[in-house]
């Protein structure tokens, strides 16, 4: 691409090796979660939420299980101020939930923030100022010493006002634009703030290290976090927090590697809403842990309902391929994928399995409120016999023989290809019924009578070409006798190959279903299905269906009369 030379790497790496996180294989416990949906998420909306929408969103976050929720920047606008006051005055904040408010390190903003907090039982005051090279040089035009003084003076004022204001206040400091700051300087600023706040076991301090703009690969961010974690003063009383954005599309990776590197806390939003490409997606992070058998401490068992509320309140849509939540993320259209999933689900049904290991499905969709039908296997022209057979079995109870599934699969894919559309399971069932079940053209039977005696003598009443006929046959069983009668009386030639029957259990009362295949003289196999309350009649109807499919497929064949 043109102009590539105008870009360069804008991040720094720690001055010492910080790679211990690489040796860890997985995240073994959930972090402290802090939702910033009502601040970062809300300010990124085309149409920000109104008061009532914010209140509903706050309750949603509480229901999900968030214990720390950033509710806004109360000094930034009257809307933000009123929202915080409403939460406090209506007593809407549960005792086990700590609200968080954001403030720049500027005196009038800090004072206004504490004014808004009057009456709050417990809150985190989140102080920040920007520290990056670009901000220092281009925005503030101040040396490092003055940037440190901005942070320290703000920390001192917060401490003073917290002592004067009723309530329990915790402090959080962010060197905003941390990823564009020299790591050693970021450490100096954070330690200077810690020198003011003096964290203790009873009153820990949060040091939040935001990936305000993603500038590096995720492993560099992890090394920066590890270095900071190892050198912050009073580390045992410091909660290291991360706030990854998603400019490079690696917000989730940054957060996960940062947790391996020592981060205790993660700030993010539901489904990753936020400025530019968004904040880190807490839904994805939490369910990634869930897929490894680690309880994330948040409730996403009804994810579709949560998603519906978020989309309604934010007017933002979750993408169809969004991890876990997207409409299509558990869906297989590919025939081989469908077959593997169907066999994996069948394998689980055969006996109780301790762990979920179904191919292509990292978690059981039902665990987050998704349904198998319409979610896992969907049918289009790329689909295969396994998925089609699985859907018919799950909803309608048909357990087709493997080769019949293949025959039906080609039929269904042909319809999908011709119509250029995805087919629902009901449409598939209609195709199956129309093409294979109880077919009565050009030959139908209305009555069968089994006589006593050797050879199972059988008499059938059939209808063909507008005529009613009575035909007779015998054989080594009742179905064989019917087949022999058809061949002898109508001039048909075929060989019976496959027979299968079972009770049609799904929504069918006492009906039985039978499947039969026959092979014509050219070696082509034709399948038929019969359904009836009597298993023998179901078998005869299956045979007639197969014969009718064969006759229709042989246009030059003429039935004998």
CA distances from 500 to 387, 403, 446, 512 (A): 20, 12, 22, 11
Residue 96 marked ligand-binding: no
Alpha-carbon span 104 to 154, nearest angstrom: 8
Q: Verify cis geometry, omega within 30 degrees of 0, for the bond prior to 442.
A: yes
Q: Is 208 left (phi over 0), alpha (psi -120 to 50) or beta?
A: beta
Closest C-alpha to 243, from 206, 194, 193: 206
Could you identify the residue written with the tokens 């993010």?
A: 268
CB–CB of 469/489 below 8 Å? Answer: yes
CB–CB of 129/150 below 8 Å? Answer: yes
Residue 208 marked ligand-binding: no
Please provide the distance, in angstroms rounded to a whole number, between the alpha carbons at the two ends of the chain: 78
Alpha-carbon span 250 to 247, nearest angstrom: 8
CB–CB of 61/286 below 8 Å? Answer: no
Could you identify the residue written with the tokens 């929408």?
A: 53
List 293's β-bridge partners, or say none.
none
| Class of residue 102 by CB neighbours under 10 A (exposed 0-12, middle 13-18, buried 19+) | buried
Kindly state the DSSP code that residue 8 receives in the 8-state scheme. Answer: -
Token reading at 246: 């998603």
Residue 463 marked ligand-binding: no
Alpha-carbon span 519 to 493, nearest angstrom: 9
Token reading at 149: 């003084």
Kindly state the DSSP code that residue 247 receives in the 8-state scheme. Answer: T
Residue 333 CB neighbours (<10 A):
18
Q: Which residues are annotated as a binding site for Mg(2+)?
A: 40, 243, 245, 279
Q: Which residues are annotated as a binding site?
A: 40, 243, 245, 279
């Amino acid at each position: 691409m043109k102009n590539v030379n105008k870009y360069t790497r804008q991040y720094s790496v720690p001055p010492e090796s910080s790679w211990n996180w690489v040796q860890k294989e997985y995240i073994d416990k959930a972090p402290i979660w802090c939702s910033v949906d009502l601040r970062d998420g809300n300010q990124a909306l085309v149409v920000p939420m109104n008061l009532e929408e914010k209140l509903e969103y706050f309750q949603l976050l509480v229901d999900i299980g968030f214990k720390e929720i950033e509710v806004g920047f109360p000094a930034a606008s009257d809307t933000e101020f009123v929202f915080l006051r409403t939460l406090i005055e209506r007593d809407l904040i549960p005792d086990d939930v700590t609200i968080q408010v954001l403030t720049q390190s500027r005196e009038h903003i800090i004072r206004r923030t504490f004014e808004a907090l009057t009456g709050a039982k417990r809150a985190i005051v989140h102080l920040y100022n920007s520290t990056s090279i670009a901000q220092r040089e281009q925005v503030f035009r101040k040396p490092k010493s003055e940037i440190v003084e901005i942070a320290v003076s703000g920390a001192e004022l917060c401490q003073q006002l917290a002592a004067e204001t009723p309530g329990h206040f915790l402090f959080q400091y962010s060197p905003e634009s941390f990823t564009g700051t020299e790591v050693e300087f970021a450490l100096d600023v954070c330690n200077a703030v810690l020198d003011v706040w003096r964290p203790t076991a009873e009153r820990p301090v949060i040091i939040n290290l935001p990936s305000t703009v993603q500038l590096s690969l995720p492993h560099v961010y992890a090394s920066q976090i590890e270095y900071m974690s190892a050198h912050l003063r009073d580390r045992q009383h410091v909660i290291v927090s991360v706030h990854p954005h998603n400019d490079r599309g690696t917000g989730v990776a940054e957060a996960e590697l940062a947790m391996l590197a020592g981060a205790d806390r993660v700030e993010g939003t539901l489904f990753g809403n936020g400025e530019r490409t968004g904040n880190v997606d807490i839904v994805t992070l939490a369910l990634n842990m869930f897929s490894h058998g680690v309880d994330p401490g948040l409730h996403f068992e009804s994810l579709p309902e949560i998603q519906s509320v978020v989309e309604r309140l934010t007017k933002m849509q979750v993408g169809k391929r969004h991890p876990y939540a997207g409409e299509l993320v558990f869906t297989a259209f590919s025939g081989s994928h469908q077959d593997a999933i169907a066999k994996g689900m069948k394998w689980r049904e055969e006996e109780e399995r301790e762990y979920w290991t179904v191919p292509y499905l990292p978690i059981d969709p039902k665990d987050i409120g998704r349904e198998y039908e319409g979610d896992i296997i969907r049918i289009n022209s790329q689909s295969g016999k396994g998925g089609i057979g699985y859907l018919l079995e799950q909803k309608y109870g048909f357990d087709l023989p493997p080769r019949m599934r293949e025959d039906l699969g080609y039929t269904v894919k042909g319809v999908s290809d011709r119509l250029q559309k995805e087919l629902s399971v009901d449409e598939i069932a209609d195709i199956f019924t129309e093409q294979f079940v109880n077919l009565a053209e050009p030959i139908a039977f209305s009555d069968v009578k089994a006589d006593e005696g050797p050879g199972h003598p059988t008499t059938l009443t059939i209808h063909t070409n507008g005529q009613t006929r009575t035909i007779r046959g015998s054989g080594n069983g009742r179905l064989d006798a019917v087949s022999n009668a058809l061949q002898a009386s109508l001039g048909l030639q075929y060989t019976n190959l496959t027979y299968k029957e079972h009770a049609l259990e799904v929504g069918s009362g006492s009906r039985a279903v039978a499947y039969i295949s026959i092979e014509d003289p050219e070696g082509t196999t034709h399948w038929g299905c019969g359904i009836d309350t009597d298993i023998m009649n179901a078998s005869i109807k299956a045979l007639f269906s197969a014969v009718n499919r064969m006759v229709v497929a042989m246009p030059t064949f003429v039935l004998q009369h």
